[in-house]
Amino acid sequence: MPAGIGSLSRGVRSPRSHMRRGDTLLEHFRRIYLAAQPADSVDVPPSLGVTSALSGEGRTTVATGIAAVMAMDLDVPVVLVEVDLAHPGMHRILGIAPEPGISEYLRGECEVATAVRQISDRLFVLPAGNPRGDAARLIRQLTTADLRARLNTSGAILVFDLPPILDSSYGLLASSMAESLIFVVRSGQTTSAQVKDALERLDEAAVRGLVLNGAEPFLPSWLRPRR
């Protein structure tokens, strides 16, 4: 397994003392993508987007984790697509070169097959690349392109790491690329008013789950470990 994706499942293959933590992390991401399934179907949506109200809420980490676990669980290719062109970060998580990516493909500088990286048997990544200050125009171009056909991945599941809704002028437009949406909220950072504002702008039927990121579970003081 390539180095990048190994960091997401390190607990499963590391010494026994870390095994429980790794299993818990994988199960966390598994529950998120399963929540995106329609109530009347056992099928996973063909495209799943991860978005948030603001920047810095953990969208890229959640999207990467979901895609990695889906690739482990399902018998179809999973393509992780970094759509937050203005603030790319997936290459750091996965340990891949930042370019070429979507930006270079949309400018006609490379074929899409050149920009896609294979991470494991069924997990593929299409990073943002370098938008050169032209992210908004490239996003508009991307939303009109038939990305699935260009990728030649019939039956594949696309996981989109989307821009934030309130911090990005094209966040709402980009969200239209995904059939189902997961909304990430950073605990202690995003206000309820900001969450409400962002959710009201999205298609209510498309939002399938909300992830509270970085939350500390409440415990009575007498149960908390002493420091």
What tokens does 214 get?
């970085």
* 209 strand-pairing partners: 182
Q: Is the peptide bond before 100 cis (omega within 30 degrees of 0)?
A: yes
Per-residue model confidence (pLDDT) at position 77: 94
Instruction: Copy the structure tokens of residue 71.
Output: 């690739």
Cα 225 to Cα 36, 84, 187, 219: the distances in Å are: 35, 39, 21, 10
| Residue 58 falls inside a structural domain | yes
pLDDT score recorded for residue 43: 73
Task: With both helix axes pointing from N to C terminus, report the angle between 59-73 and 19-35 in degrees, rounded to the nearest 10.
Answer: 90
**6: in domain:** no
Q: Which residues contact 177 (CB under 8 A, 6 or more apart)?
A: 47, 49, 83, 142, 143, 147, 160, 162
**How many structural domains is the chain composed of?**
1
Whether 103 is in a domain gets the answer yes
Provide the residue range defining the domain that includes 189.
46-215
* 30 φ/ψ angles, rounded to the nearest 5 degrees: -65, -45
The verdict on residue 227 lying in a domain is no
DSSP secondary structure letter of residue 197: H
| Amino acid 35: pLDDT | 85
Residue 33 covered by a domain: no
Q: How far is CA 153 from the centre of its chain?
A: 18
CATH of the domain at 195: 3.40.50.300
d(CA 130, CA 170): 17
Q: Is residue 163 part of a domain?
A: yes
Q: Residue 70 has what pLDDT?
A: 94
Give the rounded distance of the alpha carbon of 142 from its chain centre.
17
In the Cβ-directed half-sphere of 208, how many Cα atoms lie within 13 Å?
Answer: 22
Residue at 13 is within a domain: no
Q: What is the reported pLDDT for 8?
A: 34
In a domain, 221, yes or no: no
In whole angstroms, give the CA distance from residue 139 to residue 135: 6
pLDDT given for residue 36 in this prediction: 83
Average pLDDT across each block of 10 residues of the chain; the chain has 227 residues. List them in order: 34 35 79 81 83 95 94 94 94 93 95 93 96 94 82 82 95 94 93 96 92 61 41
CB of 102 closer than 8 Å to CB of 127: yes
What is the per-residue DSSP string for 111-168?
A: -HHHH-EE-SSSEEEE-----TT-HHHHHHHHHHS-HHHHHT-TTPEEEEEPPPTTT-
CB atoms within 10 A of CB 18: 13
